Structure 1
Amino acid sequence: MSATKRTEGAGTEPVPPLPGVLDVHAHYVTPALRAALEAAGHGRPDGMPAIPDWSPEEALALMDRTGVAAALLSVSSPGVHFGDDAAARALARRVNEEGAALVAAHPGRFGLLASLPLPDLAGAREEARYALDALGADGIALQTQYGGRHIGDAAFEPLLGDLSARGAVVVLHPTSPACFEAVADGFPRPMLEFPFETARAVAGLVLGGALDRHPGIRFVVPHAGGALPVLADRIAAFALASGNDVDVYGHLRRLYYDLAGFPLPRQLPALLTLTDEEHVLYGSDFPFTPGWVVEGMAATLARGVGFARGDGVFRRFAGA
């Protein structure tokens, strides 16, 4: 769809800027998750000022103001694993069941992208089965790396095989690189490290052959591809020079990308040299992106920018 322009007239209600779209990059923060983050020393996750406040009522009000039909809820970085496998399994189960309860309480307005307790592979495979089968999750949220290994690493191959066999949707989310203390220069990691982490993870999936081995997964890449739009030619050139005959451009064209963050005025035009509008989906990044920023970006995106509604990927919402 092409985003609809806001139109207002005398005696009429304002038309939301993005009527009927799905928000594929929206987060939730339950009290249990907040407590676990704070207890693990993540009160300023990835160097951000604080864990943002979130409530379903506030999220729904923002969705109504922007016209979003439904939001796919996920846990943001740093996820649910803070060093202990058993605790991570318990927290993943807790937040996934809380997310499923939010979906049940607000039919048609929320979907769930389940969290997994990686790098605990056995726990992650079991939680993926539970979330998809018992909870009816709409997909899986995976971070770009776990324990210093990007998601295309051979360590995660069994999980990717499971998800491909099920035709699952996987929405990627960047996290702080393992060496962030050496490279972030004290800045919040979402500023620079997240876009490069996204590029590293996707390049690994492409060049390592994971996308060829697991064609059943529909991947959604965050933040308009991060640094990928400006690095794609370098990735393709180095692949060719090293004798890797993978179809870099073909894979990048077939991936889906969300528009969370600040895709305009520069990033989205670059992304559309790699793929088409049908592979570009809306994302708000609320509440880590404040509501007033989300509203401003939604209004900007509505000015003639084309992107898909999202129900072709999240088919439960088709026709909603």
Structure 2
Amino acid sequence: MSDPRRIDIHHHLIPPDRGRAIAERAVALGWPAPAWDKDSALAMMDHQAIAVAVLSYAAPLTAPDDTSAAPASARSVNEYTAELVKDRPERFGHFAALPLPDVDAAVAEAAYALDELGADGVILMSNIGGHYLGEDVFEPLWAELDARGAVVLVHPTAPPGPMVPGLPSPLVDFPHDTTRTALHMAVNGVLARHREVKVILPHAGGFLPYAAQRFAAAARLSPDTTPENLLEDLRRFYFDTAFSAAPATLPSLLAFAAPGHILYGSDFPMIPTEWAAVHDTALEEFPHWDPGQLHAIHRANAEALIPRLASVGS
């Protein structure tokens, strides 16, 4: 490894009381069932030269027909995660889960998690029951996060509609849903209105870097922006490398992402360790890094995004 002090911006946890539900959801999506505990996470981190992992819970908090339980579920997940960070502050950070679609409760939970639990940011699903993050209903939450200059990890989930038989949703549909919600946010002015929010898109932004010029044509359908302005907003996103360090992917990402906007991510344990190791090797062996660029992706860009991380795991 060229840098043994990586910061993993995209590392998930599974609280013990949610292990069965997560496993069942993975199987329903055609994906290997993941498992997580603190010791296995630390072992993986040591093996993959990860100094610090920012933990996040990347699944719906409740069943679609029981969203009233989301605030209590978010609080439980966030307090459990905060205790892990408190126990090992030199190894873990924390993106707090928010109980959408209840926007008022999400605003309150963001304030509690950031102010009282010391969360490093928040995580949002790419859609909530088919509602994408550029919708007007979410504006109070974006305003709150903007006022705090918050870091937001937008994690993909299954889009509306059935999965294509034989094509696991995490493999095919998740990158599509990342792309869909990112463009929806930009077209609806979320990024233009809220300049202090820093939004991370996992997995190299889905298809966004590759097709950004095509997507910019959406501005021609609106009187409120131009293709140039829309591209500028799209380049405000941050991107992680989880499961995306491939010879055909990295050139598109590097050509599109703004300087300092690429971050290392593993997606553990949702991506099996052996799969992630292949991508870590590809990231190391990519032949076109500029001097210092790989170190920035491994660590320095995350330190600039979340300054607290500069003092841990080094």
TM-score normalized by structure 2?
0.89
Q: CA deviation at 1:154?
A: 0.7
The equivalent of 2:178 in structure 1 is 198
The equivalent of 2:62 in structure 1 is 81
The equivalent of 1:90 in structure 2 is 72
Q: CA deviation at 1:43?
A: 5.8
AA at the equivalent of 1:212? A
Matches within 5 A, 1:3-14: none
Q: CA deviation at 1:300?
A: 2.0
1:287 equivalent among 269, 275, 278: 269
Matches within 5 A, 1:236-255: 236-240=216-220, 242-246=222-226, 247-255=229-237
Distance 1:75 1:46, change over 3 A: farther
Indicate whether 1:128 and 2:120 are aligned. no
Q: CA deviation at 1:76?
A: 1.5
Q: C-alpha distance in 1, partners of 2:224/2:166? A: 36
Matches within 5 A, 1:143-292: 143-179=125-161, 181=162, 184-240=164-220, 242-246=222-226, 247-292=229-274
For 2:54, what is the secondary structure of its paired residue?
strand
| Cα deviation digits, residues 185-217 of structure 1 (max 9, x gap) | 342111111111111101011111011111111
Q: CA deviation at 1:241?
A: 5.2
AA at the equivalent of 1:46? L
Distance 1:230 1:43, change over 3 A: closer
The equivalent of 1:29 in structure 2 is 14
Q: CA deviation at 1:291?
A: 1.5
Indicate whether 1:302 and 2:296 are aligned. no
The equivalent of 2:310 in structure 1 is 318
| Cα deviation digits, residues 211-241 of structure 1 (max 9, x gap) | 1111111001110010112221111123135
Give the number of equivalent residue pairs.
299
Q: C-alpha distance in 2, partners of 1:217/1:190? A: 26
The equivalent of 2:124 in structure 1 is 142
Asked if the contact 2:11/2:56 (under 8 Å) is kept, the reply is yes
AA at the equivalent of 1:150? Y
AA at the equivalent of 1:194? F
The equivalent of 1:47 in structure 2 is 30
Q: CA deviation at 1:292?
A: 2.0
AA at the equivalent of 2:45? M
Asked if the contact 2:179/2:205 (under 8 Å) is kept, the reply is yes
Q: C-alpha distance in 2, partners of 1:45/1:213? A: 38
AA at the equivalent of 2:157? T
Q: Percent identity?
A: 40
For 1:63, what is the secondary structure of its paired residue?
helix
Distance 1:245 1:86, change over 3 A: closer
Q: CA deviation at 1:248?
A: 2.0
AA at the equivalent of 1:80? L
Distance 1:265 1:151, change over 3 A: same
| Cα deviation digits, residues 13-59 of structure 1 (max 9, x gap) | xxx44422210111001112225557xx6362533242x11111111
Q: Which has the higher contact order (CA 8 A, sep 6+)?
A: 1
AA at the equivalent of 2:190? A
AA at the equivalent of 1:251? D
> CA RMSD for the aligned pairs?
1.8
Which of the pair is proportionally richer in helix? 2
AA at the equivalent of 2:194? H
User: Which structure 1 segments of 5+ residues have no match?
Assistant: 1-15
Q: CA deviation at 1:100?
A: 0.4
Asked if the contact 1:169/1:219 (under 8 Å) is kept, the reply is yes
Q: C-alpha distance in 1, partners of 2:29/2:97? A: 18
Q: CA deviation at 1:244?
A: 4.3
